[in-house]
Amino acid sequence: MPTPVTAIYPGTFDPITNGHTDLIHRATRLFSRVIVAVAANPGKDPMFSAAERVELARLVFADVEKVEVVGFNNLLVDFAAQQNAGVILRGLRAVSDFEFEFQLAGMNRKLAPALETLFMVPAEPYAYLSSKIVREIASLGGNVADFVHPKVKAALADRLALKS
């Protein structure tokens, strides 16, 4: 039997999309535990606070046994060590993502040589999907039901109603 391995899937998840959830569900087939690591990342000026993004991800994965959602605001390699994670998961939607992700993977390897980075490609229906696009569609009154969990759609609608 293979050794249990914990993977971390870090991101801002503002908001978490069906592309993220697809990758996470697929990762549960590969790893004994998948931690959705919600980065505080205030520099990105997120629509939802870190606590709200953690709560939304927890709602989305409430019934998935191998998934744990945790917020963090420190260096990813340090957080991975705290969680006993052996793998960082990253999604690659397009070739344009590769250069930045390659740089991050190289730096993480320099900082924590035992920590591996695994790139996963989204399922075809989500190859174009990003949180930024979902926020933009929602803010312009478009229907995001095909792109996010129903609870995330409701949270977007509530947030946008407050800004009106």
Residue 142's pLDDT is 95
Query: Where exactly are the structural domains of the chain?
Result: 6-128
Q: Is 20 a catalytic residue?
A: yes
Residue 100's pLDDT is 87
Q: Given pLDDT bands bounded at 50, 70 and 90, which one contains residue 164? A: low
DSSP H helices in the chain: 18-27, 50-60, 76-82, 95-111, 131-139, 150-163
Q: Which of 20, 53, 90, 135 is catalytic?
A: 20
Q: Which of 33, 53, 90, 131 is catalytic?
A: 131
- pTM over 0.85, yes/no: yes
Residue 22's pLDDT is 95
Q: Is 93 a catalytic residue?
A: yes
Q: Given pLDDT bands bounded at 50, 70 and 90, which one contains residue 83? A: very high
Q: What is the mean pLDDT of residues 89-98?
A: 84
Q: What is the mean pLDDT of residues 42-71?
A: 94
* Tokens linked to 159: 């947030």
Q: What are phi and psi of 71, to 5 degrees?
A: -85, 150
Q: What are phi and psi of 29, to 5 degrees?
A: -80, -20
Q: Which of 25, 66, 93, 151 is catalytic?
A: 93
> Any idea which of 28-37, 78-87, 90-99 has the lowest mean pLDDT?
90-99
Q: Which of 32, 44, 49, 139 is catalytic?
A: 44
Q: Is the pLDDT of residue 163 over 80?
A: no
Q: Is 44 a catalytic residue?
A: yes
Class of domain 6-128: alpha beta
Q: Is the pLDDT of residue 1 over 70?
A: no
| Higher local confidence (pLDDT), 57 or 42 | 57
Q: Is 25 a catalytic residue?
A: no
Q: Given pLDDT bands bounded at 50, 70 and 90, which one contains residue 86? A: very high
